[in-house]
Amino acid sequence: MSKSPRFRNVVLTLLVVVAGVLAGCSQQPSADALKGPAEEVSSAVRAASLAVDLRISDSTTAAAASTAADDMLGDVESATKEVHALSAQTQEERTLRNDVLAAFSSVSRALLHARDALSSSSNGPSDGQGKAQLSTVQGELRAATEQLDSLMTKAGIQ
């Protein structure tokens, strides 16, 4: 074999190895890669739910509860960006990533409603209408939590 074909084979082998290493390093939406963001969102929705509970029982102010919900919304947005950055190469990975993003979207929507209900001056625990609205929001937060918990169990994240 002459020097040129041998050099070409070495270079091609090196390129294949480098491509394999790089492909192995890219984040894919496996249960392990989704665990951190899913746990972050799970904690966020539970914290917001607690803030609503505290407001319903008049154990916190509207401002404190609203701020907590807003902070938790930021955590969910961060986790959503992290999941969007994952590359899904198979249909199963795409389905899992899309299901997680759908659950995160439900949580975000519930958190937005919670924040809005908590920041409304008319939603005090002594106000019947306000308490009813907070109870509705609490139900929405619980439904979003159940959806996320179910998905985490199905995906083997918990």
Asked if 110 and 137 touch (Cβ cutoff 8 Å), the reply is yes
User: DSSP code of 90?
Assistant: S
**∠ Cα 74 151 135 (to 5°):** 60
pTM, two decimals, is 0.77
- Mean pLDDT of the region 13-42: 67
* The pLDDT value given to residue 89: 87
Residue 29 has pLDDT above 80, yes or no: no
Q: Which CATH number, 3.30.200, 3.30.750, 3.30.160, 1.20.120, labels domain 28-155? A: 1.20.120
Residue 18 has a pLDDT of 47
Percent of the chain with pLDDT over 70: 77
Over residues 62-79, the pLDDT tens digits come to 999 999 999 999 999 999
**Residue 98 pLDDT level (bands cut at 50, 70, 90):** very high
Residue 156 φ/ψ region, left for φ over 0, alpha for ψ in the -120 to 50 degree band, beta for the rest: left
Q: What's the average model confidence in pLDDT over 48-59?
A: 93
Q: In the chain, what are the helix, strand and coil shares in percent, each to the nearest 5?
A: 80, 0, 20
Tell me the mean pLDDT in the region 28-34. 75
What residue ranges in 29-100 does DSSP mark as E strands?
none
Mean pLDDT of 97-104: 95
